[in-house]
Structure 1
Amino acid sequence: MRVEIWSDIACPWCYIGKTRFEKGLAAFAHKDQVEVVYRSFELDPRAARGVTAPVVEMLAKKYGRTLDEARGMEEHVAANARAEGLEYRTEGRDHGSTFDIHRLLHLAAARGRQEQLLDLAYRANFAEQRSVFDPEVLLALAVEAGLDEAEARAVLADEGAYAEQVREDEREAAELGANSVPFFVLDRRFGISGGQPAEVFTQALEQAWAGRELTAAAPAGEACEPDGACAVPQG
């Protein structure tokens, strides 16, 4: 079975959802026969490269909230992250274009180091005082993940490197009906939206393995742009 996960480093529910999915997968009897593939999805594809803004200010502007209300939104997410054993900073984080991160993740996938880089980028963005929107930080994370420094630097310097792979992932997401992340696709048959509880993922894996249609009983999980669970259109 193949599970494809569309996500963005800027999305805290993707950070949380990855851990919840992994817990759900660990409880699945056939976990050793599941291939997990990560796909690109930019929450803000129009964001200018090299331009960043504080997360709290971005949230307040985007949702028409006060700064205090935006901080409350961050605290809500942080509580969910900490409940999963994840560290989460509610102050001092920034927000910007994730296009270069996705391009580098495609390089990492080609070198068999995708999940290592993804985990490091999530931790840097949400738990540490390191900005993943700084090219030098991103390069350091790539090296830490096991990528060749010269190759990673060359990819970051060439805006066209792996750009088409990122755009193809995003086109596929649109074709599959994914308008929020995280978005999980099981064997290109069914999709689940949002950072669902671990037991929901286990149930979905069991149902997909048995060839049954996923039930619609579970509410949509929390996502960066809320959306419901859905059946994936057949190609």
Structure 2
Amino acid sequence: MRVEIWSDIACPWCYVGKARFEKALAAFPHRDEVEVVHRSFELDPGRAKDDAGPVIPMLAKKYGMSEAQAEAAEDNLGTQAAAEGLPYRTRGRDHGNTFDMHRLLHLAKERGRQDELVQGLYAANFAEERSVFTEGDERLVGLAVAAGLDADEARAVLADPTAYADEVRADEREAAELGANGVPFFVLDRKYGVSGAQPAEVFTQALTQAWGARSPLRLIDQADAEACGPDGCAVPQQS
């Protein structure tokens, strides 16, 4: 069975949702027969490569809140990430264009190192002090090497803006055709879709149903799970 995950490295709910899905997958009896493929989705595809900025002011502007409220929202998201065993840096992060990261992920897919790279990119973006947006190509090359890719091959991809560009755009078109207007978006064996960072129990249900059923794509659980879309990411409220 194949599970395709549309996501963006800039999406915190993708980071959390991946962990929740993997918790369900680890307990799934047929986990060794499940292939996971990461697919590209840019939250801001028109953004310039050199356009990067801090997260807190961006959240305040996008959602019409004060920076103090944005900080509180980040703190709450950090708490939810921690509940999944994920480090999450609530202050000092930035955001920017992720197109080159998606291109590298397609290289990593061909080399059998895609999951390692996507996890490394998430950790670098959400947990580390160094930026993945402002330090240039060598920052991404270092992450690619840490994931098991060849440095020169990664550099060659980054130096050629056309390398894997068509693959990224094809993923994004397919997401739109499947009705995904936000991420994370999980498609299980082209039978079921799960939208948002749902609880692990929802992923368990979807895995079980997709394994044993044959039907057109159906969305599992239409509750308002947290996700990121073109207009931004759902902002968690303090309870």
Q: TM-score range by the shorter chain?
A: over 0.9
CA shift for structure 1 position 220 = 3.5
Give the 3-state SS of the residue equivalent to 1:137 in structure 2: helix
SS in 2 for 1:132: coil
Shift, 1:224, TM fit: 1.6
Match of 1:151 among 153, 159, 166: 153
Q: Which residue of 2 aligns with 1:221?
A: 225
Counterparts of 1:161-176 in structure 2, within 5 Å, are 161-176=163-178
Q: Is the 8 A contact 1:88 1:127 kept in 2?
A: yes
Q: How far off its partner does 1:218 sit?
A: 6.0
User: What letter is aligned with 2:202?
Assistant: V
Aligned 1:116-135 pairs, distance under 5 A: 116-133=116-133, 134=135, 135=137
Counterparts of 1:107 and 1:70, CA distance in 2: 35
Counterpart residue number, 1:12: 12
Query: Matches of 2:202 and 2:154 in 1, distance apart?
Result: 37
CA displacement at 1:201 relative to structure 2 = 0.5
Q: Is the 8 A contact 1:200 1:218 kept in 2?
A: no
Give the corresponding residue for 2:72.
72
Check conservation: 1:108, 1:117, Cα contact below 8 A: yes
Indicate the residue corresponding to 1:83 in structure 2. 83
In the TM superposition, 1:36-47 aligns within 5 A as 36-47=36-47
Q: Distance in 2 between matches of 1:220 and 1:4?
A: 21
Unaligned 5+ residue runs, structure 2? Answer: 235-239
Query: Partner amino acid for 1:27?
Result: A
| Preserved CA contact (<8 Å) 1:184 1:192 | yes
Tell me how far 1:152 sits from its aligned partner. Answer: 0.5
Residues of 1 paired with 2:141 and 2:173: CA distance?
Answer: 27
Report the CA distance shift for 1:97/1:183 in structure 2 as closer, same or farther (over 3 A). Answer: same
Counterpart residue identity of residue 6, structure 2: W
Q: CA deviation at 1:210?
A: 1.5
Q: Deviations over 1:144-203 (max 9, x none)?
A: 111111111111111111000000000000000000100000111221101111111011
Deviation >3 Å, runs of 4+ = 212-218
Give 1:63 deviation, angstroms: 1.5
The answer to whether residue 138 in structure 2 is matched with residue 136 in structure 1 is: yes
Matches of 1:198 and 1:173 in 2, distance apart? 22
Q: Normalising by the residue count of structure 1, what TM-score does the alignment of the two structures yield?
A: 0.92
TM-fit CA distance, 1:215? 7.7
- Structure 1 distance, partners of 2:38, 2:219, is 24
After superposition, the C-alpha distances for 1:53-112 in whole angstroms (9 at most, x for unaligned) are 001111111112211111122112111100111100011111000000000111111111
Q: Which residue of 2 aligns with 1:197?
A: 199
CA distance in 2, matches of 1:95, 1:120: 16
Q: In the comparison of the two structures, how many residue pairs are matched?
A: 227
Matched, 1:24 2:27: no
Q: Distance in 2 between matches of 1:217 and 1:111?
A: 34
Is the 1:81–1:87 contact (alpha carbons within 8 Å) kept by the matching residues of 2? yes
- Percent identity between the two aligned chains: 66
- In structure 2, the residue matched to 1:53 is 53
Gap runs ≥5 in structure 1: 228-235
1:111 is aligned to: 111
- Structure 1: distance between partners of 2:51 and 2:177: 29
Following TM superposition, by how much is the alpha carbon of 1:212 offset from its aligned partner in structure 2, in angstroms?
A: 6.5
Q: Is the 8 A contact 2:192 2:220 kept in 1?
A: no
Q: What's the TM-score, normalizing by structure 2?
A: 0.91
Give the alignment partner of residue 208 of structure 2, picking from 202, 206, 209.
Answer: 206
